[in-house]
Structure 1
């Protein structure tokens, strides 16, 4: 038994997102635009997917995004630390330019798709394993006609989808990351199918132009 549909939703905007700072597992709240995004995204997602179970990373930005959606579908939010963002260790809180200045060689490896050795940076393989384990554990509690909505983080979701599609989460880089409060929709394949999940839709959102979405309601005409 497994959920027939899994939706992976990225959290709404934070001040670190707006300032282009690497968040990792720092527990940053949503900013004003993020709270608006969470409500708009929740309305749009609820119009297309009604979850039987909503599971969220235990970090505040994900929990608050999950709560906005859960209110629309009338369920509680379950939290799971296994759905946290990839840890970026000593890099967390810095901008890309600051990381490049302080750790130039490791930054170049990272931007080239490699695995940097900076202290505390979690490998993509480790993120993919823990994310898949958490997603599938919750999906296995549901039936084929039910939907699981998972609220997590950009890098973590990318690694999860890649692994669930049977691809190498370390070497394969063919999936664009999700924008804030955008989601991916996966559907369970047949019992013996390879891979066991199919990607139906990716980076779906509330339908706003991206510049308006990132700037918030004050930018609307």
Structure 2
């Protein structure tokens, strides 16, 4: 058995998001806007009656998950495998700063290749750990249950690509989720890939 629906929910806005700085695994809290986004989205997601909430242990995700847990009376269970993709030396920098300091590596990254020598985690490695965490949590639930997974932009993109049976190293057909928006997956019972995409970049109306 597995959960009948999996919601992959990106955290609310942080000051790094607002100033277009690459966050990676830097532990940045939600800003005021992010807290408002989380509260509004949680109101919508609570009506779906999630059976379980799991979250990245980074504070911006756990704060977002906490807004939903407070409404449902449930617990947001942390899982470090749901952390954002690590961006090594680039974390905390803007795109302009990265381009100035590492022009060749930046060009490779923007072209969809893995930048060398800066300590970034590969898309494939990130995707595998996120997908593993999602599948394990979903496997503990029943057909009529809904699982909410709270994570990060790149982590969700890479993990979801793996769940859809694709290779995040070379397939980049998904745009990143906006802050506090989510995607919806259902099990593709008896068929490949194991999961199918039902909705993308869904959000609460302001």
CA distance in 1, matches of 2:85, 2:133: 14
Structure 2: runs of 5+ lacking an equivalent: none
**1:46 CA drift (Å):** 2.1
TM-score, length-scaled by structure 2 = 0.98
Partner of 2:30: 30
CA distance in 2, matches of 1:41, 1:116: 35
Partner of 1:90: 89
Alignment of 1:1-221 (within 5 A): 1-47=1-47, 49-190=48-189, 192-208=190-206
Contact 1:56 1:83 in 2 (8 A): yes
What secondary structure does 2:41 align onto? helix
Contact 1:109 1:115 in 2 (8 A): yes
Q: How many residues align?
A: 206
CA distance in 1, matches of 2:46, 2:116: 41
CA RMSD of aligned residues (A): 0.8
**1:45 CA drift (Å):** 2.0
Select between 36-45 and 91-100 the one with higher mean Cα deviation: 36-45
Contact 1:10 1:180 in 2 (8 A): yes
What secondary structure does 1:138 align onto? helix
CA distance in 2, matches of 1:166, 1:50: 28
**1:108 CA drift (Å):** 0.4
What secondary structure does 1:21 align onto? coil
**1:41 CA drift (Å):** 1.1
**1:118 CA drift (Å):** 3.1
Select between 13-22 and 66-75 the one with higher mean Cα deviation: 66-75
CA distance in 2, matches of 1:110, 1:144: 40
Contact 1:22 1:95 in 2 (8 A): yes
